[in-house]
Structure 1
């Protein structure tokens, strides 16, 4: 799947939205913590987005 979102600015941070299809697939609800795992490479980055499970210690 490929989605395109627009970046915005909130208090010095850059924000974006998580597309509705991914919200549904990951079962994300308001207040959930989201994990952004980035693999940085010479030509860019690969980012994996997941919902942090309640029983995770991190």
Structure 2
């Protein structure tokens, strides 16, 4: 559903960077947690170029 590795989820949850619930050492994600993760991923990236630069033609 999220298309991310389990290790990514565990690492982020362990750092408390994503919403989740810990039951002992087990992770649980509610529908609201998943909606928040998906919503955060849908935001446009910042600081990236919108297009690739072209290389100048080789000298002749």
> Do the structures match in fold with TM over 0.5?
no
The normalised TM-score by structure 2 is 0.32
- The answer to which structure has the higher helix fraction is 2
The normalised TM-score by structure 1 is 0.32
Q: Which has the larger radius of gyration?
A: 2
- The answer to which structure has the higher strand fraction is 1
Point out which structure has higher relative CO (alpha carbons under 8 A, 6+ apart): 1
